[in-house]
Amino acid sequence: MNKKQKILLIKTGALGDMILFSFSINVASRAYKNADIYLLTSKQYVEIYQGCNLIKQIFAMPEGRNIFHLFNIAKEIRKMRFQKIFDLQGNLKTNFYTFLFRGKERIGLYKKSSGKIFLTKSVKKKYGINPVDHQKMFWNKTIGVKIEGELQLWIPEEKKQGFSHFFKKYGLLPKNYVVFHPSASIEWKTKKWIPEYWARLGEFFSQKNLPVVFIGDKNSVGINEQIIKLMKGKSINIAGKTDFFKLALVIQQSKMCITTDSGPMHIGSASKTDTIAIFGPTNPNWHAAPGVKTIKSKINCSPCYKKRCTHYSCMKSITPEKILDLIEIENQ
């Protein structure tokens, strides 16, 4: 009797990319139906796939430069004797990992040509291409067969059952509130929309008897409170109070999610929630998740990909009325 094939997928971040990576997990499970699929990812993203029934085991990469921990993981992975290792992170470090882990076939994306020496089959990373399309390109080139995948969230049943407490606590009803995510990663100050604009948009929904739930990590608490003080109507700030699954359920059960170019945009896409993403310094053609409606600045300097700016003209040019026009068009 033939032993089951073992396949290791490598993807280490960031949050949005990890959610979009569900596409590749679905493709791999369909391409190798009789194989066990394993995942190596960063410790902070293990939670996202803990409920995924397509993954046999998740290996967590150590934070920082913990060489001892890396050695132990490498030792454990080598014992598994993986027939194929797919590196979809595609940096020099993860290219080296495929060699360190002694995969029989080491197939991956590469950024620097030096990364190719660690791979038995390599695909050059492309830029200016949507991340899901990039995954499609990778799989078409590496397995030679076109297999469709889709974005998916694997939320454990106990998390779903316990979520009713959220509605009771805040006096909300499913599909009867709107989610706002005004923040972005700390270094990307230019991705943040204007607080006064968020407040005006929030008041529109309040007039429709739709409470606004503000989300984000602990660094988002301040900007959320600033916006709440500027607006009228019911609003709730749960920034810093959710794990990944609770955040996903808050978005999934909402009527609409409006967000910056950030992780919640990808959660909205994967959960099939009506989602609008605001783009200023970045290009939606390169970064928007499937099914997400986007609004972008049309000024000459956008997209600039600068993380700091003195005038924020791109974000100032996207007024609340432009987003409301988009909502009205969709409702016609």
User: Alpha-carbon distance 73 to 278, whole Å?
Assistant: 40
User: Alpha-carbon distance 19 to 251, whole Å?
Assistant: 14
* Residue 332: per-residue pLDDT: 43
User: Alpha-carbon distance 310 to 330, whole Å?
Assistant: 34
- Is the pLDDT score of 146 beyond 90? no
Supply 195's token pair: 């607080």
pLDDT band at 331 (very low <50, low <70, confident <90, very high): low
Supply 242's token pair: 């959710």
| 204-247 per-position pLDDT tens digit | 999 999 999 999 999 999 999 999 999 999 999 999 999 999 99
User: Alpha-carbon distance 243 to 48, whole Å?
Assistant: 10
HSE, CB side, 13 Å, CA atoms: give it for residue 60: 11
- End-to-end alpha-carbon separation of the chain, Å? 60
One DSSP character per residue, 150-215 reads: -------HHHHHHTHHHHHHHT--TTSSEEEE----TT-GGGPPPHHHHHHHHHHHHHTT--EEE-
Residue 33 CB coordination number (10 Å): 7
* Residue 13: per-residue pLDDT: 87
- Say whether the peptide bond before residue 303 is cis (omega within 30 degrees of 0): yes
- Is the pLDDT score of 2 beyond 70? no
HSE, CB side, 13 Å, CA atoms: give it for residue 29: 16
| 47-86 per-position pLDDT tens digit | 999 999 999 999 998 777 778 888 899 999 999 999 999 9
Residue range(s) in the chain whose domain bears CATH number 3.40.50.2000:
5-143, 159-331
Using DSSP, state whether 265 is helix, strand or coil.
helix
- Is the pLDDT score of 191 beyond 50? yes
| 171-187 per-position pLDDT tens digit | 999 999 999 999 998 89
Average pLDDT, the chain: 94
- Is the pLDDT score of 3 beyond 90? no
Return left, alpha or beta for 199; rule: phi > 0 is left, psi -120 to 50 is alpha, else beta: alpha
User: Alpha-carbon distance 112 to 132, whole Å?
Assistant: 21
- Is the pLDDT score of 261 beyond 80? yes
- According to CATH, the superfamily of the domain at 5-143 is Glycogen Phosphorylase B; (3.40.50.2000)
Q: Are 54 and 37 in contact (CB under 8 A)?
A: yes
- Is the pLDDT score of 196 beyond 80? yes
User: Alpha-carbon distance 101 to 76, whole Å?
Assistant: 9
- Is the pLDDT score of 270 beyond 50? yes
| 90-124 per-position pLDDT tens digit | 999 999 999 999 999 999 999 999 999 999 999 99
Average pLDDT over residues 140-150: 89
What is the fold, at CATH topology level, of the domain defined by 159-331?
Rossmann fold (3.40.50)
Indicate the DSSP class of residue 219. G
Supply 98's token pair: 């495929």
User: Alpha-carbon distance 279 to 285, whole Å?
Assistant: 10
| 22-49 per-position pLDDT tens digit | 999 999 999 999 999 999 999 999 999 9
What percentage of residues in the chain have a pLDDT greater than 90? 88
The residue type at 49: Y
User: Alpha-carbon distance 24 to 151, whole Å?
Assistant: 9
